[in-house]
Amino acid sequence: MDFSWIYKTVVRIEPFRWQNYALFTNGSILIRLPAQNYNGELESCSPFHSKRLTDLFPDLSHRISLKPFPSTKSLGIEPGSWLKECPKCKGAGKVAQCPECEGEGVVSWETAYHEYEATCQTCWGDKLLPGDSRAEQMECADCSGTGKSVWITPCQVYDSVISTFYAYHLSLLKGCKIQINGTEDQVYFVFDGGDGIVMKISLED
Ligand SMILES: [Zn+2]
Ligand SMILES: [Zn+2]
């Protein structure tokens, strides 16, 4: 089975090798597959991350309760409902260096006595502005030029609240089951070909 869509669509950060797994993570979701199930390139894993990952996965020698991941339809998910205008490029898909601070993010000026520096009031320290006709434009890296970005909206799956974006994609994984009574912060899932962890979101956010 081809899992490269997990990287391209869901995680969008190059996977790496951890123990005998191909590991995909962006901090909000973590998916691991036996390395032989993934054909693409794998980066190596730093000892720091390796230790953290060992702590993250639940001890599966304890019985944990899993239920079938509900269908998109029963969760009432509208595909694409998580896409909104990219805040970086304001939907333009292109950005340009801020002409006011020349991409420094700060402006400075001096008097006879002092030199001052302040956050640029045009880009608010962002260094880049949504496509500006006065400057050379480049593709917005935040949205890969699509002008849209993924927003976190809550989706209740049994006793956990996770991002609708991840809930949608987990429901597409064949044989996906999700843990009941996850920890306070995270919930474990398993599917045909791998398993993973997704961070819960709190409704106050
Ligand atoms: Zn953008
Ligand atoms: Zn600026």
Annotated domain spans of the chain: 4-82+151-199, 89-139
**Sequence-ordered list of residues with C-beta below 8 angstroms from that of 69, at least 6 positions apart, any chain:** 157, 170, 171, 173, 176, 177, 178, 189, 191
| Nearest ligand (C-alpha, residue 93) | 1
The span from the CA of 133 to the CA of 102, in Å, is 14
**78 and 71 in contact (C-beta within 8 Å)?**
no
Q: How far is the CA of 152 from the centre of ligand 2 (A)?
A: 28
Q: How far is the CA of 64 from the centre of ligand 2 (A)?
A: 52
**Sequence-ordered list of residues with C-beta below 8 angstroms from that of 100, at least 6 positions apart, any chain:** 107, 120, 121, 122, 123
**What 3-state class would DSSP assign to 35?**
helix
Q: How far is the CA of 27 from the centre of ligand 2 (A)?
A: 29
Q: What is the pLDDT of residues 97-117, one digit of tens each?
A: 888 898 899 999 998 899 999
Q: How far is the CA of 72 from the centre of ligand 1 (A)?
A: 27
Q: How far is the CA of 97 from the centre of ligand 2 (A)?
A: 8
Q: What is the pLDDT of residues 77-104, one digit of tens each?
A: 999 999 999 998 999 999 998 888 988 9
Structure tokens, 132: 């500006």
Amino acid at 79: P
Q: How far is the CA of 26 from the centre of ligand 2 (A)?
A: 29
Q: How far is the CA of 95 from the centre of ligand 1 (A)?
A: 7
Q: Given a cut of 60, is residue 61 above it in pLDDT?
A: no
Q: How far is the CA of 107 from the centre of ligand 2 (A)?
A: 7
Chain centroid to Cα 166, Å, comes to: 9
Mean pLDDT across 42-54: 84
| Nearest ligand (C-alpha, residue 84) | 1
Q: How far is the CA of 145 from the centre of ligand 2 (A)?
A: 21
| Nearest ligand (C-alpha, residue 85) | 1
Mean pLDDT across 172-183: 92
**127 and 95 in contact (C-beta within 8 Å)?**
no
Query: pTM of the entire structure?
Result: 0.78
| Nearest ligand (C-alpha, residue 103) | 2
Tell me what pLDDT residue 163 has. Answer: 95
| Nearest ligand (C-alpha, residue 149) | 1
Summary mean pLDDT of the chain: 89
| Nearest ligand (C-alpha, residue 129) | 2
